Amino acid sequence: MSRLTTSAIIIVSLLAIPILQIKSAANPTSGNTINMQNSESTTPDFDPKFLWDGRKMMPFRALDIARVVPASEASFLDDSDYVLGITVNGESRAYPTRFIWWHHVVNDKIGRADSGGSVPVAVTYCSVCNTGIRYDPVINGKPIKIDFYGLYNGIVALCERETSSVLLQSTGDLVTGTLKGSKLKAQPLLDTTWGKWKKLHPDTLVMAPYGPDAKHYNPKGEPEPRGYDKFPMPMFQRSLSRTDTRLPAFDKILAVSNADQSGKSSSGAVLVRAYPIKDLQKAGGVVNDQLGNSKLAVFFDETTMSAAAVNRQIDNRILTFYSKKDHAGNNTIYDKETQTQWSIEGVGEEGPLAGKSLTRMENHLSQWYGWAASFPSTTIYGRS
C-alpha cells in the first residue's frame, strides 16, 4: 500500500473524529502569531493545548532493530531514492525514507566491534515536513525506546515507551510525564540520495524491507514527496502553537543550531538559524557564516538537494569555503586556505587536509512552519 493510499484511508477515518478533541486557539486561515502569554506551559515554550495524541487513531508503529543488508544486495532501492545516512563507530548505515516514514522512528544499534562496539541510536523522521533527526536515546545512562505519539507544531511528536513521556522531534525535549525536563542530544545524519550515500560510504549497510510492516512501505519507483506543499489533514494546522510569516510556511530550509558548539553567543545562549534552500541554490552550494561565536559553513548539493552545516574551525585555523564545477558539471567544495577538497559531510577528500573531519553542527532539513513554531527566536540567513 502506498503512502498516498494509506494517507487517504487515514484522512477518511479522521474526518469522523469530533473536532472538539483537538483543542486549539489557532485560526486555520490566519497568518498572525498566536498570543501565548496566558497559556499554561508544562515546560518553557511548550503549550500542551496544541499537542495531539494520535496513537489510537493512527496505525504507525516504531521499529526496533532494523534488518540490514550490504549495498550490493539492495536491489529494492534506486539511486534516486532518499535515505537517512549515519555513521557510528566505523559502521555506516542508510534508512530509506520510503520505509521509515511508516515507523517515524527506528530504535536501532550500530557500530563495529573493532571500533568500540554497537551503540543505541534513534533515527526519527517526519515525512510531512521532511525532517530526519538522529538522537542519542540515552537518559541517565539507560537507553530508552521511542514510539509514535501524534503531532505538535505540525511535526510528528514521539514518546518514550515505558512512561509515555512525550518527546518533541524537532527539539529532543521530553515535555510531559516522569521524564519531563530531559533532553536527547541530536547527532550527525545526512538526508541524501541512495546513490550519493553509496559514493560517500561504499561499505554501507542499508535497512531492508522485511517484517510485517513492509507491506506499508512505498513501492520502488513511486515518486516520493520531499515535504508537502500543504497540510494533508486539519489537525496539522490545529497543532501549530504559533505561525511566522517571515517566510512562506512550506519553504524548505536547513535548520541549524550551535547547541553543541563551544562558541555560542557572548551570553552563552544557544542560537538557531534557518537557511532557505532557495538561497543555498543561489549561493552556488557554499555559504560561509557565523552563528554567535561559531564560525560555520553550509554545504549544499543541488543534484540531490542535500545540505549539511559544519564548523569552519579546524586545527586552530578558520577555513573559508567555495565551490567550483568538476569535470561532470557538479559543484565541488574547496577551502581557500589549503585548496583541500571536502565532502558534503565535511571530510577532507584530496589535498593537505585529506582525512581530516570538520565538526558537524546540529542541523536537519525541514520546512519553515515547524521550525519557526518550535524556535520563534530563529534568525534567517540573509535577512536582518
Indicate the DSSP class of residue 210.
Answer: -
Grid coordinates belonging to 53: 495524541
Grid look-up 530563529 returns 378
Cα distances (angstroms) measured from residue 79 to each of 190, 194, 218, 263: 15, 5, 15, 38
Instruction: Single out the residue of 132, 131, 135 nearest to residue 143, CA to CA.
Output: 135
Closest by CA to 61, choosing from 27, 30, 104, 32, is 104
- The full set of domain ranges for the chain reads 3-8+43-238, 252-380
Bridge partners (DSSP) listed for residue 357: 347
277-294: pLDDT as tens digits = 999 999 999 999 999 999
Give me the residues of the chain with pLDDT under 70, please: 1-44, 261-268
The three grid cell numbers given for residue 180, joined into one nine-digit string: 519531563
Cell numbers standing for residue 165: 513521556
Please tell me the distance from the alpha carbon of residue 343 to that of residue 200, in angstroms, as a whole number.
8
**pLDDT of res. 274:** 98
Please report the pLDDT score of residue 325 as a whole number.
Answer: 83
Angle at 35 between CA 33 and CA 38, to 5 degrees: 165
**Residues forming a β-bridge with 219:** none
Question: Quick one: pLDDT at residue 268?
Answer: 63
Q: What is the pLDDT of residues 322-355, one digit of tens each?
A: 999 888 778 899 999 999 999 999 999 999 999 9
Question: Any idea which fold 252-380 has?
Answer: Rieske Iron-sulfur Protein (2.102.10)
Query: What pTM was estimated for this model as a whole?
Result: 0.88
